[in-house]
Each structure stands twice: as C-alpha cells, then as structure tokens.
Structure 1
Amino acid sequence: MKTVEHLLLLITVIAFTACSSQTSSNIDFADDNGGINLPDGFKATVVTDSIGQARHITVDENGNIYVALREPHNGNGIVALADENNDGIADITKYFGDYSGTGIHIYDGYLYFGSKTEIVRYKLQENELVPSNNAEIVVDGFPEQRQHAAKSIAFDQNGNLYVNIGGPSNACQEEMRTPGSPGMAPCPQLESHGGIWQFDANTTGQSLQEDGTRYATGIRNAVALDWNKQTDHLYVVQHGRDQLHTLWPDYYTVEQNAILPAEEFFEVQEGDNFGWPYTYYDHQRGEKMLAPEYGGDGETVAEKGKYEDPILAFPGHWAPNDLLFYKKSQFPQKYLNGAFIAFHGSWNRAPEPQQGYKIVFAPFENDKPTGNYWDFADGFAGKDSLESPANAQYRPMGLAIHNDGSLLITDSRNGKIWRIFYTGD
C-alpha cells in the first residue's frame, strides 16, 4: 500500500514540476521579484509598472489582461494588456471604456465592469483586444455615496450576478463619525446598502430597485468577494468598522483601536445577516460583540445565534480588497482550493504602525478553512514601519489567476502588476 502511495506522490510531484517548467520557461523574471518578497520556490515578473490606479483584474481565454481603474486615464477606466511574445511582460497597453471603478470579470463572452453606480458589460470578440462595441448597462440605480462606493462583482454557476453595496458610513450613527453619537435603530442604510445583492447575469436593463434581490445583509463593505466553485457558495472578506477609541474613548484604548475589530471572512448563504452595524467581531475573544453605538461597552457580547460568525478572522484595519480561490495546478498541492486575500493596508492604526500591505493565503480542507493562514507575498509597503498609507511604495489590490495558473496582483498606487510562478528554484 505504501508503494502505491509513494508512486502517486511521485507522479504528483512530476506533474507539478512539468507544469511549472512549461509555463515559466520563457518568462523574463525580475531579479528582485519586482520589489516584493515571495516564498521559496516562487518567482515574479512585472507585467507592467505604471498603468494608473489599478483595482480588480481579470484574464480572457487568450491570456489578455483587463484591469479596472479607480480614476480615469484620459477619460478611460479600463486597461487592456497583451503579451505577444509570452515573456510575461505586456507588449501592448490600450485604454478604453467610459467608466472607472473596481469590479471587473469575464463571464459568458462578456467583460463585466462595476462603476460606483452601474454594472456594464462589453461583448468580447475573437482577435479583438479592445471591444469595439459600446457598453451595455446590466444594472443601474445604485445609490450615490461618498463612503464605500466600490462595486465589486462575482458570478455563480447558475447565471447569477452578485454585487457588493457597501454601507455608506462607519457605524450608522445619527451624527456620522461623531464621538458618542448613538446608532440609528433600526439602521435605515440597510435597506439599500450594507450587503450583497443578486441579479440575473444575462439580462440587461435591470435596476437595483426593481430587479435586485438582497442576498445577504449586515456586511459593512465587501470589496473582496469570490464564488467558490468547489463549495458552490459565495465568500467575502469584510472591511471592519473604524475608530473605536476615537469615538468611544471610555471603552477602548488606543492599543485596542489599532487591532479591533477583526476583518471577517464570511461564507455567505442566501438570507444571512452578519451583524453590521450592530456588532463587530473581536478575534482575540473569538466572539461577536455589541457595538458601542448600540449599547456595547467593549465587554458585552452580541445576542447569540442572531448573526453569522466568520469562518476566519484577521487583525483589524488590514483592508481586504480582493479574494480568490486557487483552482489550478501550477502552484504546489497545498494551495489547491485555498484562498488568496489581498490586503490593501491600514490608515487608522496610529500611533501604532500601519499594517496589512500583503497577500495572505488561507488553506482549505474539506471545504472549510483550516483555521490558519500565512503571508504569501509581502514587502509591498517598501519599509518595515509605516506611519501612513501615503508612504507605502505599493498597495496590493486585485487578484486573478492567469490561464497557466500563475497569480496576478495589482498595485493601486501607480498600477504595477506582478505575475507569480512556482518554479521550485
């Protein structure tokens, strides 16, 4: 029996080695991995280094890369990149689209894009890098908002589109971000914000008000979301609330303010309520806590069973901005079916150093996270101690898997893109 097991293991190792060699043989790797740190056996090439404030990213069946921009570049909000000689570096860069935003995804022959107030799509044509047709509006009517306006998107296997609509506030206070101001009860923002909405992915001309189904609620802002085909469920990583000490200094210390509340990783089922703004998650205690705006004091636990708990939790204010389940074989077996999470980095941990600014990997077993995670790529900040995100060299933002299984990472500062391979070296 052991001989058979050893043979299977040898075959797996050979397969992974062959795959790695085949996909990376022509790649022009950067000497320093483009300025970031990677685990042993991984190397990176820089696809491009300055396309603009890059957000999410996707890849078509020909290996062309499409990137959403936070701000328009000469009036355009999408970048198309092509690598003609297969060395991993973009040879062609073209801008198009009248919208800027965050969410971008290829589904059923269309490039879907999420601006702050609309979801649109472009028909992709064979041998055409930039779509020649005009954008079709898939969903409009999303509310204008100054906070958490990014519309990230995901698709399931049954023709449904999922859209994040972030809460337009920190904690639904009567006086926004004002010390001691109570929360509105019930929070009226939850009627059209603070959750995930579901739409028909194949129908144009929809509106939030007439066609949207509130799939899950109580989510402050889930820029990071992905549909996991392995489990056939939606997953999101939430931005936790801010300013516990600033707004409620009698209950929270400066040190607690820096690490609380947790950034929560949720498995989302239709009808779930995750508790924002009434609760937050304390990862040190492992409990949902009653928010101070709703009678909490840092010690009062939220009502048991009323809200869904996270499947995994991370330290506060790391700012999760993308989530991706790994389904390819280019990376070693331990990465299969696990989750990569891009942390954009904190702004509100002062006077403690800012943290985040890295890509984390969370392994899954039997369709559940194992409970641990590790840093996969870091060094984006460019320095060991960071006082402000304005001083970060790079801020990791978007994730995508290339057709060969390599991992793409975008930077939101200037628009650098890394492509990471496992070489075993």
Structure 2
Amino acid sequence: MPKNRFSWIPWIYCTPILAGGYFQFLVANYLLKYATDILLLAPAFVGTVFLVSRLWDAVNDPLIGWFSDFQKKKSGKRKRLIIFSAPVLALSFLALWYSPAENKEFWFAFWLIVFFTALTFLYVPHYSLGAELSENMETRLKLFGGRTISENAGVIAGALMLTILIPLNLVREVTDSLTGVTILAAFIILLPLFFLKEPEKKVEVSVSFGESFKTVLANRQMRWLSSISFLNQIGASVMLAASLYFTEYVMGKKDLGSAVPAIFIISASICIPIWIHFGKVQLKSFWLIGQFMMTIGVGLMFFIQYLPYWSIFPASFLVGAGAGSALTYTPAVVAQISETGHDGVFFSIFTFMNKSGMAVAAFIVGQVLALTGFLANSIQSESALSGIKITFTVIPGFCFLMAALMIYVFNFKGKKTEPENQ
C-alpha cells in the first residue's frame, strides 16, 4: 500500500460503518423494549426471535464470508457486497418498527432475519477489506481502531435518536422519525465506496465452502478468540439492553435511559487512541486491564441504589472505557491470525459470534422479564426488579470476568507477520 495514500484510506474505509453502528445500536438496545411496550409483543417471543435469527446466521455468515473470498474478480469483490447491503438494510430496518394490523409476529420475525442478513453483507466484507488494507499489527490497530470510532459515532447518533424515540408512544410517530435518517444512513454506506480502491486479490481461493470453513475451525486461536468476543458481546449487550429497564423501573428515572448507552459509547471512543498506543507495546496486558475496568464498572452499578443517582455516570464511563480495548484489539487480532486468502470466512465467524452474543443477550433479557413477572408500563414486583438488577449488573460482570480469564491464557502470536511484542 503506497504510504502517501494511507492517510486518506482510513477515513474513506471507516465512513460506511458509521451507518452500521447506527442501525445495530437501535435494534440491539431499543427494539426489544419497543416491541414489548409499543408493539405489545410478548417478551419471550421477541427474545426467541432474536435467538432464531442467530441460528440462521450460523449458516448465513460463513457463506457470505466464503463468497466474498471466493469471487474470481481480482478487485471490487468486497465493495459489491457492501453496496448490495445498503438498500436492504434501510428497508428491513424501517419495516421492523412498523406494525401491520394482522400477522405482526410473522412480520417482525421475517424482517428481523432480513435485517441481520443484510447486516452481514455489510460487516463481513467491510472487516475483510480492512484486513487487506493493513499490513502489520501497528497499521491494523490504527485501521480497526478508526473503524471502531466511526462505528461508535454511528452508535452515538443512534443514542441521540433514542432520546427522540423514547417519549413516543405511537408506531406512526416512531416510523416518521426514523425514515429520513435511515435514507441518509444508506447513502453514508454507498458514497465513500466510490473513492476507495480495493486491493487486487493476491491469493486465488479455489477451495470449497466446507474446506474453507474447516480452515477456520482448525485454527485454535480463532476458536479461542471467538469465545472471548462472544462473552464480551453478551455482557455488553445484556447491560445496554437492560439499562432502559433498570433506569426506568429500578432507579425510577426514565429520562436517564439513553444516558447509559451514550456514556458507554463516548467513553469507549475517546479511549480508543489510548488503547491503540499501548497495544503496540503490550496488547495482552492492556486488554486485561480493559476487561477488569468493565467488570469493576458493572460491579459499582450493582450498588447504585445505595449511592447518589449520578454515580451511574462514572460507572458507565468506566465500563465504556474498558470496552474500548476489546473493540480495538479483537478485530486487529482476527486480521493477524487469519489465514491469507480466507479473511472473509474468518471475519464471518467473528461477526457471527458478535451477533450471536447480541441475540443471546436479547433472549436472556426477554426470558428474565417473563420469568420474574415483568408487566410493561406498570409498577413492578420485587422479583421483577431483582431480575432487572441482576440482568443489568451480575450477568455482564460474569461475562467480562470469564473473557478476561480466557485472554490471560490466549496466545497472541500472529501468522501474517513476524511475531511482535504482544
């Protein structure tokens, strides 16, 4: 990659994923509550639909990853799939917030599966493109760190939109508020691609899907890293999804609902340059520090009822700052350990585990609400309040701690470059 071009490549490369962060944040962190409180769908049903959509991704993600690797065109293979994702993402996203008079359960399930499929067409090729544009761990940290900042900017946009959506109680009001921004997000995906030249394929991939998939499964580092990512995604998604219930029903401060996710994302974003800097020196040690910051942060939230209400702000900041390490280091390490020519399949497993974590999180929240007797828009029982509190604090803390233990024994020696000081 010519050095005089690299300064522009991160800006161009990172921009489309801003829209992905916006879409994914609202679906992961508000759709569950919207579906139960406004669409009046059963919490257990909504959680189950999220889980079923991930079962589909077990096939869908690796297939799209393999297809992006296998295309015989020397250039443009990733960009074509990203371009395809934009209109499908916009359409399916809007459809999720609409409620037809009949068969609304089928409508919701169908469009949620379409949405996550389109999200795969954006995320897997985009991650793979980043691996091809970077040449060593230092450039990967910078590129994927910038990518995370861009995605988090989209998440912040989603959090700002959340402040508009939360007071709304009618489906028509919600869909009207979302339409214009959704169309803009689709253009944000498309326009930068006209200015990005995709590297020519260096290695011809002519293996079957089964052989390519076996390559990933045979990679012990990837199996271990996928588990770490899965645990972190469950922890973060459970915390963020439950934050709306926690602030409204446990703390009695509904207006703080969007503050926790916003602080989480802002703190993660502003700390990413710090994690990039220290990752060049000792990635493993600083990743562990980030994990323990997340664990301590949710531990503080467990006692928030006995502290001033504003204590949730520094606790959220601590969790988000720690999460910045995982958001930066995980994709960079995936790019480092992936087999040359199989980046798409490797990153498809990574995105599948992330989306699986989101779905399992929604399933957990939905089941806990159902089992503890949660009633939408009502005064909650003690069992429901305890369930919300445990979901918001204990479950994420356990996931973050288990991921930290796995990072401690993980081998960070990469395959694409000479071993670095990791």
Q: Which has the higher contact order (CA 8 A, sep 6+)?
A: 2
More strand by share: 1
Kindly name which structure, 1 or 2, has the bigger radius of gyration based on alpha carbons: 1
Q: TM-score, normalised by structure 1?
A: 0.29
Q: Counting helix residues as a fraction of each chain, which structure ranks higher?
A: 2
